[in-house]
């Protein structure tokens, strides 16, 4: 009886319990997970500084993964947060790893291109992570040897472009599922651990301080994966480790004793310094004695960028026409040159020693006019040095002293220059004049006040940079492509119709209509210097097999497109490969991951409605930089796809300018070779907000590509040159 009563009393409770259990089984996963993820994400957001971009969608009491209302930067699968893509949002502060750990479905995290700093976050207990992207931040310090011990699932690790130092963690070499590893542009040192990861397909360890032999497990990777580590040998580097005696000795000393290593490094540093000083002295003596032979012209030679820049007055206002003094040595040299040739009538005499006018649209002038001009150094590129000269009549020109241009006699040179001088296209900067002498050639072009795309993208971020909005960037890409396609049509039989397309050779008219310059020189430059002087020789087929073709120009176009879209300085512009961003690999990888949008320059990515077109253009840039020229886009196809995007952007951006549309339509209808004669210039010399752009002096040698940061000058204004 008591048992039955008890049974009676308990049964409803039991049923209630069962009901509760069932209810919790049915509902709890939904409630618990979504609430937990919501809370965890909000907690995470709280740890960031500058997370305003998330405010509108990361809203408390809403579920993070709900179709169109999914929170910004989340990747969801079946209502579960599986990925965080918080790249390029200007975030800094802390990453609350505890909060991250509460998001149980999380497999991929990306914080690329933000401003996080400090040591690597403690992700090591998040064993389920498959991909970690921290590239392009300010993370620093060493990573513990056992950091990756519990991260067995890790397939992709991108830590590049940070400030990590110390040894590459040995536990990394034990990750059996690793497919992509990017550690480039850090300060990792010591030897590379013995990798035992057959799955590894993409590796970049370049530009660190690694030394010793490349382990067998990594010997399949090309030299570029290890470039910029002076102490490495073996593998495909072509540097025999047996000849690395001293380096290896230093390497082993390194391991044995930190103090000894420091001393060795100091000794080497001192030896190198003394060597460099002695070498400079010898070079200086040789150059000096060589110069004695020709007092007339060689005064021009004396004007090294450094020397001349000392003569330039520094002004601080960007909006005022900068004040320049005459670079006396330029003047004197031109003067003595014209006098010695006895042809100084100043009106375009075509005789030896004079300027030969190719194109009279900016008027006719001669060496005496240049002699009277005030001058300043603009920069020193792979082809030579450039000077800006403002003539008395107010016309500003750029005089380029070409180096290594001795392949042709005067007549052939003249024929080539006249071919270039005949070109007329909105997007092509036709040379105005040239001067020929056996060992020296000058090429004169119109000066374009707004300066180069290189400066606008990566320079002082002044008012013109702000105008680099999405429609203007599309306009620039479109103009470059049209100008390039025009050259391809005009010089259809040439191997390299342009040959040197890069952002410093894209000048911008007042309305951001681009003008491409420094083209058609491939047959004029000494063959031994081609690969050093022309950017087209940076394409993979030239680097590997010394082969170039019009497709090499397409590769250069692709680099410029990716540079414009990401706002990053391409590592390809640098000769030593140090610094910058390998935009080609970076973008290709992101596209394969479906995360290309994350790489967009945040300054344009905020135009949310245009993300689709931006992504399309990113694909075009990537297809142009395809390493196999056979699979790379044809010039015609590249232009067609760019034009399609440009039309969409024009319609979207409300720039329904009829004239502009007319400019687009014929090329869409008639194919890319738009050779309609147009005025050679769109530049008004009387409006000079921003004269001259230079990257020549200071540490920056962008064309020569040897240094990645430093200072240059802009019409006498010193500017810092941050490589973004």
Ligand X SMILES: Nc1ncnc2c1ncn2[C@@H]1O[C@H](COP(=O)(O)OP(=O)(O)OP(=O)(O)O)[C@@H](O)[C@H]1O
Q: Site residues (CB under 6 A) for ligand X?
A: 378-379, 381-383, 386, 398, 400, 445-448, 451-452, 454-455, 500, 504-505, 507, 517-518, 692-696, 702-703
Please, which residue, 340 or 718, has the CB nearer to ligand X?
718
The minimum distance between CB 289 and ligand X, in angstroms, equals: 27
Tokens of 458: 């990566």
Of 467, 466, 484, 544, the closest CA to residue 520 belongs to 484
Please, which residue, 106 or 390, has the CB nearer to ligand X?
390
The Cα 565–Cα 473 span in angstroms is 8
Contact 572, 538 (CB under 8 A): yes
Please, which residue, 383 or 481, has the CB nearer to ligand X?
383
Please, which residue, 400 or 473, has the CB nearer to ligand X?
400
Q: Which residue is nearest to ligand X (CB)?
A: 381
Contact 171, 148 (CB under 8 A): yes
Please, which residue, 81 or 515, has the CB nearer to ligand X?
515
DSSP 235-283: TTS---GGGGHHHHHHHHHHHH-HHHHHHHHHHHHHHHHHHHHHHHHHH
The minimum distance between CB 367 and ligand X, in angstroms, equals: 19
Please, which residue, 54 or 477, has the CB nearer to ligand X?
477
The Cα 389–Cα 195 span in angstroms is 57
Please, which residue, 299 or 458, has the CB nearer to ligand X?
458
The minimum distance between CB 546 and ligand X, in angstroms, equals: 19
Render the burial of 12-23: b for 16+ CB within 10 Å, e for the rest. eeeeeeeeeeee
The minimum distance between CB 355 and ligand X, in angstroms, equals: 16
The minimum distance between CB 687 and ligand X, in angstroms, equals: 14
* Helices and strands of the chain, counted as H and E runs: 21, 25
The Cα 442–Cα 102 span in angstroms is 66
The minimum distance between CB 207 and ligand X, in angstroms, equals: 21
Please, which residue, 193 or 381, has the CB nearer to ligand X?
381
Please, which residue, 367 or 445, has the CB nearer to ligand X?
445
SS (H, E, C) 504-551: HHEEECCCCCEEECCCCCCCCCCHHHHHHHCHHHHCHHHHHHCCCCHH
For 298, residues 6+ apart whose C-beta sits below 8 A from its C-beta are 291, 333
For 367, residues 6+ apart whose C-beta sits below 8 A from its C-beta are 334, 335, 337, 338, 344, 346, 353, 354, 355, 435
The minimum distance between CB 656 and ligand X, in angstroms, equals: 31
The minimum distance between CB 572 and ligand X, in angstroms, equals: 13
- Which H or E run contains 486? helix 470-490
The minimum distance between CB 590 and ligand X, in angstroms, equals: 28
CA dihedral sign, ordered 16, 17, 18, 20: positive
Chain centroid to Cα 141, Å, comes to 26
């Amino acid at each position: 009886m008591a048992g039955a009563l008890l049974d009676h009393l308990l049964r409803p409770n039991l049923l209630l319990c069962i009901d509760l259990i069932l209810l919790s089984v049915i509902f709890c996963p939904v409630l618990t997970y979504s609430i937990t993820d919501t809370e965890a994400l909000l907690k995470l957001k709280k740890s960031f500084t500058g997370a305003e971009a998330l405010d509108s969608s990361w809203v408390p009491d809403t579920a993070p993964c709900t179709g169109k209302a999914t929170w910004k930067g989340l990747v969801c699968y079946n209502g579960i947060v599986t990925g965080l893509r918080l790249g390029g949002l200007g975030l800094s502060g802390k990453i609350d790893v505890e909060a991250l750990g509460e998001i149980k479905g999380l497999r991929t995290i990306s914080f690329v291109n933000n401003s996080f700093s400090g040591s690597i976050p403690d992700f090591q207990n998040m064993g389920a992570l498959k991909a970690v992207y921290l590239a392009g931040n300010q993370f620093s310090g060493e990573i513990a040897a056992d950091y990756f011990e519990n991260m067995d699932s890790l397939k992709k690790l991108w830590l590049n472009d940070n400030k990590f130092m110390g040894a590459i963690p040995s536990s990394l070499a034990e990750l059996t599922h690793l497919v992509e590893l990017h550690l480039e542009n850090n300060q990792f040192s010591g030897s590379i651990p013995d990798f035992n990861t057959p799955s590894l397909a993409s590796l970049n360890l370049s530009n660190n301080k690694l030394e010793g032999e490349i382990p067998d497990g990594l010997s399949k990777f090309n030299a570029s994966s290890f470039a910029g580590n002076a102490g490495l040998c073996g593998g495909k580097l072509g540097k025999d480790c047996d000849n690395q005696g001293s380096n290896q000795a230093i390497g082993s000393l390194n391991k044995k004793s930190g103090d000894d290593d420091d001393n060795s490094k100091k000794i080497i540093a001192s030896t190198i310094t003394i060597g460099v000083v002695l070498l400079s002295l010898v070079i200086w003596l040789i150059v000096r004695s060589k110069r004695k032979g020709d007092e007339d012209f060689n005064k021009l030679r004396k004007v090294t960028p450094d020397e001349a820049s000392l003569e330039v007055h520094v002004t601080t206002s960007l909006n005022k026409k900068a004040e320049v003094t005459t670079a006396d040595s330029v003047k004197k040299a031109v003067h003595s040159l014209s006098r010695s040739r006895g042809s100084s009538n100043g009106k375009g005499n075509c005789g030896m020693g004079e300027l030969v006018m190719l194109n009279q649209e900016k008027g006719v002038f001669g060496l005496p006019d240049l002699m009277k001009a005030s001058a300043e150094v603009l920069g020193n590129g792979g082809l030579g040095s450039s000077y800006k000269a403002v003539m008395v009549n107010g016309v500003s020109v750029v005089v380029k002293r070409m180096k290594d241009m001795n392949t042709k006699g005067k007549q052939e040179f003249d024929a080539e220059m006249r071919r270039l001088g005949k070109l007329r296209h909105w997007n092509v900067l036709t040379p105005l004049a040239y001067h020929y002498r056996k060992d020296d050639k000058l090429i004169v072009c119109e000066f374009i006040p707004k300066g180069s795309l290189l400066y606008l993208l990566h320079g002082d971020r002044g008012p013109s940079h702000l105008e680099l909005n999405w429609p203007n960037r599309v306009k620039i890409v479109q103009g470059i492509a049209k100008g390039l396609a025009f050259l391809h049509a005009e010089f259809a039989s040439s191997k390299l119709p342009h040959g040197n397309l890069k952002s410093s050779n894209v000048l911008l008219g007042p309305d951001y209509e681009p003008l491409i310059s420094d083209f058609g020189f491939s047959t004029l430059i000494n063959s031994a210097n081609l690969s050093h002087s022309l950017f087209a020789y940076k394409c993979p087929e030239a680097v590997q097999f010394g082969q170039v073709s019009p497709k090499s120009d397409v590769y250069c176009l692709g680099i410029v497109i990716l540079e414009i879209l990401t706002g990053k300085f391409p590592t390809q512009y640098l000769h030593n490969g140090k610094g910058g961003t390998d935009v080609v690999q970076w973008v290709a990888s992101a596209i394969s991951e479906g995360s290309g949008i994350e790489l967009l320059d945040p300054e344009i990515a905020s135009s949310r409605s245009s993300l689709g077109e931006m992504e399309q253009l990113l694909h075009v840039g990537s297809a142009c930089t395809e390493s196999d020229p056979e699979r790379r886009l044809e010039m015609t196809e590249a232009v067609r796809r760019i034009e399609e995007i440009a039309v969409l952007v024009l319609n979207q951006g409300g720039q329904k300018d009829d004239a502009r549309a007319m400019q687009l339509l014929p090329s869409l209808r008639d194919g890319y070779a738009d050779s309609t004669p147009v005025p050679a210039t769109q530049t008004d010399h009387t409006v000079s907000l921003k004269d001259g752009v230079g990257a020549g002096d200071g540490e920056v040698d962008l064309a020569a590509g040897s240094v990645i940061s430093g200072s240059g000058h802009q019409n006498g204004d010193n500017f810092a040159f941050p490589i973004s």
